[in-house]
């Protein structure tokens, strides 16, 4: 196990609703990234947070937003849900100290939009 936890495990929402997904980083990791993984595809980078600020973003619209808290836990918020938002959402944490650039992934939250 990586020490990265996510909640909830599964979630079903209706189109147009809003959703908040949560991630608890591995101890000592100060950077968290969020990825979207559609069925049958590799994860796609949404954004990254470092010291509570977004410092990198992939090709996702502004209705995807996030927060990082002082204890390095994080949230992913998605507004105005669309059917195509159905996917597995993964968070990954890493440390920027030394050369430890590996990102450690949580188990993901499976979001279904109906």
Considering the complex, what minimum distance in angstroms separates the CB of residue 73 from other proteins? 16
Residue 15, token pair as written in the block: 């189109």
Exposed, middle or buried by CB within 10 Å (0-12, 13-18, 19+), for 75? middle
DSSP 3-state of 84: helix
3-state secondary structure of 64: strand
Beta carbon of residue 91, minimum distance to other proteins (angstroms, whole number):
8
| Strand-pair category, 10-13 with 109-113 | parallel
At its nearest, how many Å lie between other proteins and the CB of residue 51?
13
Q: Is cis: bond before 3, omega within 30 of 0?
A: no
Question: Cβ closer to other proteins: 2 or 73?
Answer: 2
* Nearest CB to other proteins, comparing residues 16 and 41: 41
Which residues of the shown chain bind other proteins in the complex (CB under 8 A)?
A: 2, 4, 31, 33, 35, 37, 39-45, 48, 55-56, 58, 88, 90, 92, 94, 101-108, 110
Closer residue to other proteins in complex, CB, 19/26: 26
């Amino acid at each position: 196990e990586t020490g990265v936890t996510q909640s909830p495990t599964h979630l079903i929402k209706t189109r147009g609703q809003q959703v908040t997904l949560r991630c608890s980083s591995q101890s000592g990791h100060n950077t968290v990234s969020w990825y979207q993984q559609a069925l049958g595809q590799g994860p796609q980078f949404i954004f990254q947070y470092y010291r509570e600020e977004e410092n990198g973003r992939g090709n996702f619209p502004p209705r995807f937003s996030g927060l990082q808290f002082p204890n390095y836990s994080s949230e992913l918020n998605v507004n105005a849900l669309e059917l195509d938002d159905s996917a597995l959402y993964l968070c990954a944490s890493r440390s920027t100290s030394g050369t430890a650039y590996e990102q450690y992934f949580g188990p993901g939250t499976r979001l279904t939009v109906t």
